[in-house]
Amino acid sequence: MLRAEQGRSTRLARRNSYPSIPRGPPAARNRGRFQARAQLHAFVLLGNHDHLFLETPEANLSAGMHLLNGSYTGYFNVRHKRVGHLFQGRFKAHLIEEDGYFSELSRYLHLKAVRAKLVRSPEDWKWSS
């Protein structure tokens, strides 16, 4: 899953704006009657876009992304005293059905910061799993 920020803005100048991403077992988040469940396998947060490797047991990725993007946008806007959209357009998602591709996708995500020449090794980029 990929999401891009509005107007090609960047968070690199405001690295303290990167959210804390919980790691560990699947979590549930409630808001009203909606509950989104997702397993976060891997992620990388870059300057103006993010890559998340999510597994959803139910066919509710759009609802879950609406909750995640809305929550983060609210947090970011309050923190930086701004209003309006943060993300540009709709998120992009690819369906992965082969278990053998899981490790390749994880490797690809973890090397994004290295390929962008932001760090020398994936371990040096603290905004990834």
For residue 1, pLDDT beyond 70: no
Per-chain mean pLDDT for the chain:
77
| pLDDT tens string 41-65 | 899 988 888 898 988 888 888 888 8
Could you tell me the pLDDT band of residue 38, with boundaries at 50, 70 and 90? Answer: confident
* Cα end-to-end distance, the chain, whole Å: 15
| Spatial separation of the C-alpha atoms in residues 50 and 29, rounded to whole Å | 20
Q: What is the pTM for the complete model shown?
A: 0.70
The verdict on residue 94 lying in a domain is yes
Nearest Cα neighbor of 21 from 43, 37, 2, 1 is: 43
Instruction: Tell me if 33 is assigned to some domain.
Output: yes
Query: Is 59 part of a structural domain of the chain?
Result: yes
Query: How far, in Å, CA of 48 to CA of 89, rounded?
Result: 13
Which single residue is written with the structure tokens 């947090």?
75
97-111 residue pLDDT tens: 877 888 899 999 999
Query: Considering the domain boundaries, does residue 76 fall inside one?
Result: yes
- Residue 129 covered by a domain: no
Distance CA 92, CA 52 (A): 10
DSSP 20: P
**Residue span of the structural domain in which 106 resides:** 2-124
Number of domains the chain is built from: 1
